[in-house]
Amino acid sequence: MKVLLFSAYYLPGYKGGGPIKTVANLINMTFDVVEYKVVTGDRDLGDTHSYSDVTHGKWNCLSNCSIFYLGSGIQGILNIILNIFKCKKDIVYLNSFFSVKFSFIPLLIAKAFKRKVVIGPRGEFSKGALSLKFKKKNIYIKLYKILRLHKGIVFQASSEYEAEDIRRILGPNVDVFIAEDVGAQDFASTLPARKNDMLSVVFISRISPMKNLLGALEMLKDVKQPMLYHIYGPIEDLDYWSNCKSVIKTLPPHVQVEYKGELTPDRVVKTLAVYDVFFMPTKGEAYGHVIAEALCSGLPILIADTTPWRNLQKMGIGWDLPLGQPEEFSATLDKLAVTSIGDYQKMRETVLAWAKNKFSQRDAIEANIAMFRYANEKS
């Protein structure tokens, strides 16, 4: 099978977060079955300059795929049209729903050329995601429905939760194929012993309203035990980060917060492994690659019940709590802070064992291949 994949951001970029990892993991694990051509932007999220180490306007041939880096303006649109026209037998795979340049325009062109299309919304239909810039997104969705663009295409859902979100917005008859994102394959080699002085907590993600760092900081106001909270990730929204810094100044003295800058993908698991707990009460995730990476680090996770990662406490690997009960997050951090070193170490061993079992299986890989086969055979 051949897949022409459109994504606003891709390697060597990393600031775009999960969607980049989704595509990279998918290609790495299935390129022996699927031939990929990736059309992407010529710069990373928030950057003003294009990549310096790639060839622009031509195909870059890698060992597992080919990549075309689009520039801005009319030339970029012309290249989208040309690439879809030339790839006559390819499935067009769109790594977003709301991107105008890398989803809406390619979809219009693909439909004009009668290509088969798969769209991976990446959690964009969750209630948390839709609450941000609601008016613009609502107009976009209404236009989509008026033009009946969702007819005849396949929507990928990474879980049954996301499938419900897609049907809630686009209607019960939309064609949804559930194929979980391909997760991390990198595991912590050692589990450092926990220190006694204070709980070491970590947040890794884009700093934007969707990831809810501001909510996490508000929850720390009620924490009673000594705690260190390290924040990693690109600052996507400067106004939002300014609000976060204002809250940091109001935190009690026994709660220390530090911004540690950005992390390249190869450093994420190693960095996570040195902390005691991953804390990110996100407003919504279709998958949440950094959550998977925290689990692969043998790290207990404290997240909201807005992701596919559910029933964590029952499995002994973390907590998924409702955002409407912020006091539960604070209480859980306090409880973990006074957990004995022996019990805590056993929990980390449980997390790592669970992750190795989960991410060593081929279920997600086979489901994604089956999705492309389904789309390819769809009349």
At 220-271, the pLDDT tens digits run 999 999 999 999 999 999 999 999 999 999 999 999 999 999 999 889 999 9
Length of the chain: 379
User: Each residue of 32-63: pLDDT tens digit?
Assistant: 999 999 999 999 998 999 999 999 988 999 99
8 A C-beta contact, residue 171 and residue 253? no
Whether residue 184 is predicted with pLDDT greater than 80 in this model: the reply is no
Confidence of residue 24 (pLDDT cuts 50, 70, 90): very high
What pLDDT is attached to residue 71? 85
Confidence of residue 72 (pLDDT cuts 50, 70, 90): confident
Q: What is the spatial distance between Cα 329 and Cα 327, in angstroms, rounded to a whole number? A: 5
User: Each residue of 87-120: pLDDT tens digit?
Assistant: 888 899 999 999 999 999 999 999 999 999 999 9
User: Each residue of 323-370: pLDDT tens digit?
Assistant: 999 999 999 999 999 999 999 999 999 999 999 999 988 999 999 999
Q: How far is CA 175 from CA 67, 114, 166, 201, in A?
A: 28, 17, 10, 41
Q: What is the spatial distance between Cα 307 and Cα 169, in angstroms, rounded to a whole number? A: 18
Domains of the chain by start residue, with CATH? 2-182+362-377 (3.40.50.2000), 199-359 (3.40.50.2000)
Q: What is the spatial distance between Cα 293 and Cα 12, in angstroms, rounded to a whole number? A: 19
